[in-house]
Structure 1
């Protein structure tokens, strides 16, 4: 991984408040997806979780097997203060590519676009490795290109689908209709299911 996007880089971004991706709350597409989940004992992983509003929402709704991972300490410490009842052992200060274990659901929210684009094929492969057969990857991807140097890094649905197709069946992979206003028309909502092979 390029040195500039290592743990120290992200720690510095959080400490300086340079977190333009942080919406301060769960975004509508994921909230609406979570609201229709019935099984409270799903093992859920949120990689590159940042301030983890999604984990907070799920935890407060009674999901007890939620795990969050980030390479930087600052967002995990912030989350632990904000949600003191969240199990400390579910806070994983770890690089996504070194995680192990099996999960029913992986949640993608602005992590994929923060990675160096050369890591995208490895991201798709690792998501599949962390999911049990039939497990799902749900989340949002930027369906746009950016004029500035990343992160975030943009891309297109055609590019993204090539990474995921070897490992996943596509249940939903369309422009999000309920994005938050600043991201309207620029996000794909994906719901992918790990292939059984």
Structure 2
């Protein structure tokens, strides 16, 4: 089954084949969120999955949070855990068809789930979805992860080839606070769209 199709991901959730799911918010993203002061900002979490990040944000007063996923099951899981989470902010959608703009986009295991051939389009779409002062923040694997199925890895050099033309690179460095199994295998990124001339 093609992992660029929603049915692939729906089946993974239905069969509980979700080894990427930490069961809690990722520690680098928690540390980043904890220093945010403006709780009115509009936030997107693409490829959200069960999105403990969306849950953490919402429970900490960030009400303008949107979780998008190709599969319906994880969005329902969010709704089950957070009955007050606004229905219209759970987006059952193809990321590449989203049309809105956001102050902040959080990347957590979405990039590595996409086929490698989608990476350039991912960078283009992220730039489109961000407001001029917006930021793309998150974690990318700093590990090649060979194999024909996701997660797909990569390197800092490869990632910069996609992001440098479109973004100012504010941070791209080894995460200091990864969970032990991912220690020294994750890059923390913080990118801002380049001003279009």
Give the alignment's TM-score, normalised by structure 2. Answer: 0.97
**Residue 100 of structure 1 corresponds to which residue in structure 2?**
99
8 Å contact 2:101–2:130 — kept in the other structure? yes
* Superposed displacement of residue 194, structure 1: 1.2
Post-superposition, which runs of at least 4 consecutive aligned residues in structure 1 deviate over 2 A?
A: 2-5, 147-150
The correspondence of residues 1-197 of structure 1 with structure 2, limited to 5 A, is: 3-197=2-196
Alpha-carbon distance between aligned partners in 2 of 1:75 and 1:4, rounded to the nearest angstrom: 16
Shift of 1:3: 3.2
- What is the root-mean-square deviation of aligned Cα atoms in Å? 1.0
Structure-1 separation of matches of 2:90 and 2:127: 21
Q: Is the 2:146–2:152 Cα contact (8 Å) retained in structure 1?
A: no
SS in 2 for 1:160: helix
Matched positions, count: 196
- In structure 2, distance between residues paired with 1:59 and 1:156: 32
Is the Cα contact below 8 Å between 1:134 and 1:195 reproduced in 2? Answer: no
